[in-house]
Chains A and B, each alone.
Chain A
Amino acid sequence: MSIAEDLLEVNHLKKYFPIKSGLLNRTTGYVKAVDDISIQIRVGETFGLVGESGSGKSTVGRSIVRLIEKTEGEVKFKGINVYDLGPEELRKLRPQMQLIFQDPYSSLNPRVRVGDAIGEALLDHGLATRGEIRDHVEEVLRSCGLSSYHIDRFPHEFSGGQRQRIGIARALILNPDLIIADEPVSALDVSIQAQIINLFRNLQETRGLAYLFISHDLSVVEHLCNRIGVMYLGSMVETSSRDELFQNPLHPYTKALLSAVPIPIPKLKRERIVLKGDIPSPANPPLGCKFHTRCPFAIGRCKEEVPEFRDAGGNHFVACHLA
């Protein structure tokens, strides 16, 4: 039974958003935002989910915590099927599975003091009494690199980096086992990004957290993650351990992504795969392999046959006819 060691198990998750049009508001099609995604995350592990805009990576994160209701598939957290839970049971489970948002500005209520924003969930879940809360909040603020005198301030008094720390503290105080981080550093400046990345890492070491780290930035993902999955138009195209993925990428899309990341070394000669065209609309994805319209190596078979997501050896999964 692998369930015992997997903290989170996502099996064949699908999320289709209906497209409605016309006078009668009839469903005329579906945006297949997430189309058959499977992920396993073990205790203390970091799984990186990489993809460009429209790849559905954020939808995966939100479907796991049921901010969005799935269309099909199952999400198991500690062996519990998250979608079998009633509203109150789900609410009780939530502290163990937290989400950190991309935008540190919009994810904090402007009218709630920082101390309250961090402590209120403890109160609601009965995890601490009113008298104990301040101590808990101070402790978690400290471990997130803020000080106790920040407690009575309002979010607008903080910079972006500090707000993201507040967001992390708010999740952390519940002592979660899994944190889903949805592009947590992409709204931040470079020098602040490094601070937050280090914070994520240190917290993992001291608290044994598992992360699902969603990002478009391969260099950040490489720095933090043990296993990495690459998504394209709602489907997983490649999953493998970090070292394997960066040294031996098998899918042409992964290769192109890797070669497209600008590297801060001037006049560096490297082979670059520049992809043609735009990402197709997820409402109308190409038939066959979804990547074939932009793939520099596409052959006839790619246009007709959906490639199987298979193990290419050593737990390195890829969905490509050519790999």
Chain B
Amino acid sequence: MSSMSEISTGKVPKRTPLKSSIWKQSMHRLFKDKLAVTGLIVVIIMFIACFIGPIFSPYSANKIHMNIMNHPPNMRHWLGTDGLGRDVLTRVLQAGRISLTVGLASMILSVFIGTLLGAIAGYFRGIIDQIIMRAADLLLTIPSLPLLFIFGALLSEWKVPTDYRMYIVMVMLSLIGWPSLARMVRGQMLSLREREFMQAATVLGLSSRRKLFHHLLPNIVPLLIVIATLNIGGSILTESVLSFFGLGVMPPTATWGNMIDAANNMLDFQNRPWLWIPPGFSIFVTVIAINIFGDGLRDVLDPKKKR
């Protein structure tokens, strides 16, 4: 047994005592990426402004003041007022709440559906896989924007109350968002299944539950985070497009999309840029910041995209 003690001198390298987990390492690297950090900060500022900002506003977002219609930016109304005398700044922040909530909520919903279906398809294969993936293929073959337009028009036709429309828009967005996600998750599952550590798990006789929840899913999480982040930007954009055409969330509930609708009016477009530039700029900055942050995350988390 003398060789046993001789063997056991093996030491773990000293250099990594603190940042032991892959997560901590990844975050460490992420914070070195200045662009991604900038993106993250902008997103955070946007969230704080939209969710906390309106509380400090002396104005109501929806109350109509006929005496101060269409004022340009001034000391009292920093971004001016709109055609019904409402403070544009307050409305932009209020609209941001809705747009960000819709983006976030529809992302969470579509990631949930996509991951669930993709994981089931990839893990169990066979007939279940076939059914799920053909359904996904079908949804992917239909151009999503016209589909959403039809839906939106139907909602208007059925006179769905404006309060509910927001939730219905979320569901619509996630219904068109899940197929591509499910495909990616399934692909990832299929390639993970073939990895040697999964074969090792089989040989150890681990249960399906453990293989799925302890081995496969944790390896998909990084990919999910990246996709989910990038997905928020997409959802915000799509919601804006819908609302711009008056098919998404309806006034008086403000969203960035239906606020830009002001640009539809030639007079407003040419003479009152304070009506449509602020919401447009908000969409632009938020989506770009989210995408930059998402790209940074991908560089850090997705091993295939290693520098």
Contact = CB atoms under 8 A, between A and B. Distances in A.
A and B touch in the complex (CB under 8 A): yes
Interface of A: 65, 67, 90-95, 98-99, 101, 103, 106-112, 116, 120-121, 124-125, 142-143, 145-147, 149-150, 152-154, 156-159, 161-162, 165, 167, 170-171, 174, 195, 198-199, 202
Contacts of B160: none
A195 B219 CA distance: 32
Contacts of B66: none
A94 B10 contact: no
Contacts, number: 98
B207 A91 contact: yes
A159 to B, nearest CB: 8
Contact of A108 (B7, B12, B197, B207): B197
A145 B12 contact: no
Given A111-B219, A121-B204, A103 B196 contact: yes
Which of B205, B215, B218 is packed against the most chain A CB atoms within 10 Å? B205
Contacts of A94: 203-205
A65 B203 contact: yes
A111 B22 contact: yes
Report the contact-size class of chain B (Cβ under 8 Å from the partner).
20 to 34
A142 B197 CA distance: 23
Nearest to B16: A157
Contacts of B7: 145, 195, 198-199
A124 B1 CA distance: 32
Contacts of A199: 7
B4 interface: yes
Given A124-B210, A157-B16, 16 more contacts: A90-B205, A94-B205, A99-B203, A107-B196, A109-B201, A111-B22, A111-B218, A121-B204, A125-B205, A146-B10, A153-B20, A159-B13, A165-B10, A170-B204, A174-B204, A202-B4
B20 A154 contact: yes
A142 B8 contact: yes
Given A91-B205, A174-B204, A157 B4 contact: no
A107 B200 contact: yes
B196 A156 contact: no
Contact of B20 (A146, A157, A198): A157
Contacts of A154: 20-22
A116 B201 CA distance: 12
B57 interface: no
B9 to A, nearest CB: 9
Contacts of B38: none
Residue of B7, B22, B219 with highest tally of chain A CB at under 10 A: B7
Contacts of B202: 67
Nearest to B209: A124
Interface string B11-26: 0110010001110000
